[in-house]
Structures are given as C-alpha cells and as structure tokens.
Structure 1
Amino acid sequence: MYPLPLIGRRAALRLGLLAALALGQVAALAAEIRVITSGAFTEAYKQLIPLYEQASGHTVISSFGASSGNAPDSIPSRFARGEVFDLVILSETGLEALVKAGHVVPGSRMDLARSKIGAAVRKGTPKPDISSVAALRQTLLNAKSVAYSASASGTYLSGELFPKLGVAERLKETGKRILSERVGAVVARGDAELGFQQVSELIYFKELDFLGTLPEEVQQTLYFSAGLVQGSRQADVAAHLARFLSSAAVAETVRATGLDPVAGKR
C-alpha cells in the first residue's frame, strides 16, 4: 500500500519556499495561471498548488478532466470547445495528441511523474489474485463486472491487454468503460466488482482494498507531463509552475500519492 502524505504546516511552508528559491521567481507582479490536469496527477496537484501559490504570490485557477476520450469534461473535448488554459498536465500520449492538434507548444513538454496501473475491490469483498499474468487472466475471466477508465489506462487495457490475454470477448459482457468519474467511485458503491485505473487514482478510496499493480510483464508505465498551451499570455509563469511541479523539492509528495516522481529528469 502506498503511504498517504501528511504535511504539517511548517513542513509545507518549508517545501514551498525551498522550491521557489531553487527555481527563482519570474514575475514581480502576481499573475493568474489557468491549468487543467488529468486524474492521475490530481492528488499531488491538489497538495502542491497551495504551496506554490503561497511561495510565489501567483494564483492558479484549476480545472480537471481525463487525458483522452470524448466525454464532455475530457481535456481534448475542452480544448475542442475553445476553453482557455495556460498549462495542461496529462498523459504523454494525450499531450502528444494536443501538440499535433496545435493546442500545445511543440518542445514544451516537461515530465512530472511516472504512473502505473493498479486494481482494487470494494472493502470486505474477496481479494482476487493479480500477482502474475496467469492469475490476472483468471481473475478477469472470473469477475462478474470489471470497471476501467475511458482515459489512458483504459485505452491500454481494452485495446491491448485484454486481447493479449485472450479475455476480450469476456470483457465485452462484463467490462464497464467509465466516463467522467474515477473507477474507484464505481467500485466503492458496488457498481463493479473489480476496478483498474492509475494507482494514484485508486489509493485514496477508504472504501476499497488496493490489490496492487499489474504484473510487470503486462504493465503500462506512462509519463504524466506538463505542456504550455499555444497562445498563452502567461507562458513564463506557467513554465515556472511546471518546473516547480517537476522539481526534486516536491518529489516526496508526488511519490506519496502513488506516482514515481521524475524530478526534472527523464
């Protein structure tokens, strides 16, 4: 089980100030930065943004959505509608798609963390085995209902892993592709027996038992990265925020939320 972060007020202040000093300030006047981030980085983001605002004097206006898919609140859908942002944080594949679509500045990618896919069941129910490829396959065949994300992890599961394991036909009957909410919420209320999503999106549900990550042979490890939005009037400040989120000063907080911090290095 991943530890949950406990940051005292004094430690939080020290973290924010150290990071700000290390990165330097880019603007004498306070600025507003509009950011949209996907689910996997959300918990780390929610803890770090108040520290950044306190240390920098800038204000961050936050939005949240899935890295991919056509749900109304997904990041691609919001860009397609013309919503305005300065910085976007999402899976590497999602970011590349936004670059190709002309929404994100080419070469502005800054990796923040690596993420793995995990599984969970509702607390108090049987805990199936996913520790090996064979066990995972059998668990998928046995499950009466399996929830997975409509975003990056779910695309990998339904498009690659399920066919590879020979369970795709079974999952056509039992699989549930979840839009606009976390898989953990679906499993927690009993609408699915088994759920798969990024570890950082599962471990915060107290109603769930976290089973672990997919076996390494079939694991998908994704980078979650920040990119500067084309046409932003706050590009320098947005880049400053991205450097803060990728810095060594915040690595322990990122790790505690179920992610592997990149700390500015890829």
Structure 2
Amino acid sequence: MNPSDSLPPLRCISSMATRQLLTRLARQYRQATGIEVALESVGGVDAARRLAAGEAFDVAVLASDAVAGLVASGHLAAGSEAVVALSGLAAAVAEGRPAPRTDTLAQLLRLLGEAGAIGYSTGPSGKALLERLRQWGVLEALQPRLVQAPPGQPVAAMVARGEVDIGFQQLSEMVHSPGIALLAELPPEARIVTAFTAAACVPSPRSDEACAFIRYLCGAQAAEAKQEEGMSPAPVGS
C-alpha cells in the first residue's frame, strides 16, 4: 500500500481561469506521486474572499495581485509563491458569425462601436479591459452596452447564447468552449496578459506537500498542458 493512499487529498482553490489546467495537472500529479489533489475552482473574487475568511485549503492559485494581497494579510505563506502560468486576453463571437478583423486598434474600436452588447469578466482581465477602454477614450460611450458576467460564469457561454455580440476573457477560459469562434490575435494595444500564482495557505498542516505540488505546477513537465489549455509557462525566475 502506498503511504500516500492513507492521506486525505491536498485541498486547492483556484479561479476559473486555471480550472482546466489544474484539473489536468492534478491528475498528472496523482499519477506521478500517488498524492490526490482536490480542486475547487470558483470566481477569483469569491476564492479570495473565502481565503481571507479563513476557510481551510492547502494551496491557492489566483491572479498574482490577489495572491500578493493575501500574502500581505497573512492568509497565504510568504516565500511560497510561484508564478504558474501566463494567460492572455482573447475575444470571441458566436460560432457561425463572420469573424471580423481585429488586426489594428482602429478595427477593434470599430467592431466595439458596432456591437450591440459586449461581454467581459469579473476577473483581472475584465478590470484591465475597462482600463484600456478608458485610455482609448471610449469607455463612457460603450458603458451602456458593457455586460459583466456574474462571478464564475464564463463569458464564452454568454457569447454562445447570444446574450452578447462579442466577449472578452482569458484565452484559457474560452479555448475549449462550444458555440463560439475565437477572433484572430488582438492588436498589440489590446494585449492583456495575466499572471497566475500559486501559494501555500496559512495555516496548513501540509505546507511541505503544498510546496511540492506548487513546484510540480511550475516544472517542465507541466509546460505541454499549459500550451494546450491556452496558457504559457512563466519565464524562468519569475
């Protein structure tokens, strides 16, 4: 009998953007080590709130700014943080619609100006998108047509149901979604990359095991899964 079989699963909480990746890597980790990881993926805002309230987990994987705040408040262990993956912003329209050109900022702004409703997320990419719209001077004009997805609900689902004409969210949350067509790469001015960081939770009686799992998430053996799930490995030393 493997000693790890008698241990309860490591508890990991994450935002929805990394759900597919972590599900896959947790399965790989189980196969490699015999240690099971129980993953719960929710809206990033909800995950941070639950951790701040003291809910018991061993590992958290959230946007880097959220992790930094939870480290500062003592809910995640300082020194345990590691950037797991980078995720870029993507845009999509409903499957079957003509895919508009978005090579330049002018084309993107024209598309947004013509859209009836524009979906965006509650996560870091959604906040960053609103800031870009403000910088481009179009936020006020577009505000009545901006539709924010409820926490934990994919923007892609809103696009597929026809609730919005175009939707923006992490590529990792859109890449395998049915009923949508991803647009070509966004212009440089609209490229938004979010870093997702893992950290050990405080208090956790299994901090050593938590840190071992975090190292696995950042290792070379996880790179292929990151690429296939719409993310990329973090640069060495980040």
| Alpha-carbon distance between aligned partners in 2 of 1:56 and 1:263, rounded to the nearest angstrom | 25
1:15 corresponds to: none
Question: 1:96 aligned to 2:46?
Answer: no
AA matched with 1:60: V
| Aligned positions of 1:136-215 closer than 5 A | 136-158=108-130, 160-179=131-150, 180-215=152-187
In the TM superposition, residue 95 of structure 1 has moved relative to its aligned partner by 1.0
The secondary structure found in structure 2 opposite 1:116 is: strand
* 1:110–1:264 contact (8 Å) kept in structure 2: no
1:65-118 deviations in Å (ceiling 9; x for gaps): 2233xxxxx212222443211100011111112112221112211111111101
> Is 1:75 aligned to residue 47 of structure 2?
yes
Misfit runs of 4+, over 4 Å: none
Tell me if structure 1 keeps the 8 A contact 2:81–2:197. Answer: yes
Instruction: Give, in whole Å, the separation in 1 of the partners of 2:188 and 2:20.
Output: 24
Please tell me whether residue 32 in structure 1 is matched to residue 27 in structure 2.
no
Q: Are the aligned partners of 2:5 and 2:35 in contact in 1 as well (CA < 8 Å)?
A: no
State the TM-score, normalizing by the size of structure 2.
0.92
8 A contact 1:105–1:229 mirrored in 2:
yes
Question: 1:191 is paired with a residue of what secondary structure?
Answer: coil
> Root-mean-square deviation (CA), in Å?
1.9
Q: Find the counterpart in structure 1 of residue 203 from structure 2.
A: 231
Distance 1:91 1:44 in 2: 14
In the alignment, is the contact (CA less than 8 A) between 1:145 and 1:176 conserved in 2?
yes
Over 3 Å counting, the alpha-carbon distance change for 1:214 and 1:95 in structure 2 is: farther
Q: Which residue of 1 aligns with 2:79?
A: 107
What is the aligned partner in structure 1 of residue 56 from structure 2?
A: 84
Matching of residues 11-50 of structure 1 within 5 Å: 30-50=7-27
After TM superposition, give the deviation of residue 215 of structure 1 in Å: 1.9
Helix, strand or coil at the partner of 2:184: strand
Aligned residues: 235
User: Among residues 31, 42, 55, which one is paired with 1:65 in the alignment?
Assistant: 42
When structure 1 is superposed on structure 2, of 228-237 and 58-67 the one drifting more is 58-67
User: Which structure 1 segments of 5+ residues have no match?
Assistant: 1-26, 69-73
Q: Which amino acid aligns with 2:159?
A: V
What amino acid sits opposite 1:105 in the alignment? Answer: A
Aligned to 1:255: 227
Q: TM-score, normalised by structure 1?
A: 0.83
Query: What percent identity do the matched residue pairs reach?
Result: 31
Matched, 1:126 2:98: yes
Q: Distance in 2 between matches of 1:80 and 1:228?
A: 13
* Structure 2 SS opposite 1:224: strand
Shift of 1:264: 5.5
